[in-house]
Amino acid sequence: MNMYGRSVVFPMTASYYCDGAWMFEDDAAARARGGGIGAMAGRPSGRIGFRTRSEVEVMDDGFRWRKYGKKAVKSSPNLRNYYRCSAEGCGVKKRVERDRDDPLYVLTTYDGVHNHVTPGSTSSRAAPAYSAPTAPAWTWSELQNH
């Protein structure tokens, strides 16, 4: 629960993209397909973007992210933040920026696949979805626990 009275950063309607193409799908529909977004995250390409309605750009997905840069892109008045997985040998990158048209939406793009386990996922976090290098790092339902 945050100061906005909403316990979660994720909306009922989720949009994401894979392999460069944005897709829009209802969260319920995504989960109904089985695995939801997580299934998409398991793709070899490892490029998945999320567009979520949240006030905070940083969402704890179980990994430790180290910010390594920020940039103001021409196409958007907002700043784009660049994060990298703090784990050594894990070259997963994360790009976070606010939507140009809807500032209360946050575009999060994951680039790469984690090759390690989520730190401290067994304690405060229920059921880490991570099991294999090509498996999704987390599940959609887990994200909703925020």
Partner DNA sequence: CGGGTTTGACCAGCGC
Partner DNA sequence: GCGCTGGTCAAACCCG
Residue labelled with tokens 């984690």 = 114
Per CB under 7 A, contacts with DNA among 48-87 are 64-71, 73-75, 80, 82, 84, 86
Question: What value, to the nearest 5°, has the Cα angle with vertex 127 and ends 17 and 31?
Answer: 40
By beta-carbon proximity to DNA, the closer residue of 43 and 80 is 80
Cα torsion 61, 62, 63, 68: sign: positive
Give yes or no for residue 116 binding DNA (CB under 7 A). no
Count the residues of the shown chain that bind DNA, applying the rule CB under 7 A: 17
Separation between Cα atoms, residue 131 and residue 99, nearest integer Å:
32
Q: Based on CB atoms, which residue is closest to DNA, 5 or 69?
A: 69
Residue 66 C-beta: closest distance to DNA, Å: 4
Residue 39's CB is within 10 A of a number of other CB atoms, namely 16
Q: In the complex with DNA, which residue's Cβ is closer, 28 or 45?
A: 45
- For residues 75 and 124, which CB has a smaller minimum distance to DNA in the complex? 75
Q: How far is the CB of 77 from DNA (least distance, A)?
A: 11
Burial 84-115 (b: 16+ CB within 10 A, else e): bbebeebebbbebbbeeeeeebbbbbbbbbbe
**Which residues of this protein are in contact with DNA, per CB under 7 A?**
64-71, 73-75, 80, 82, 84, 86, 93, 95
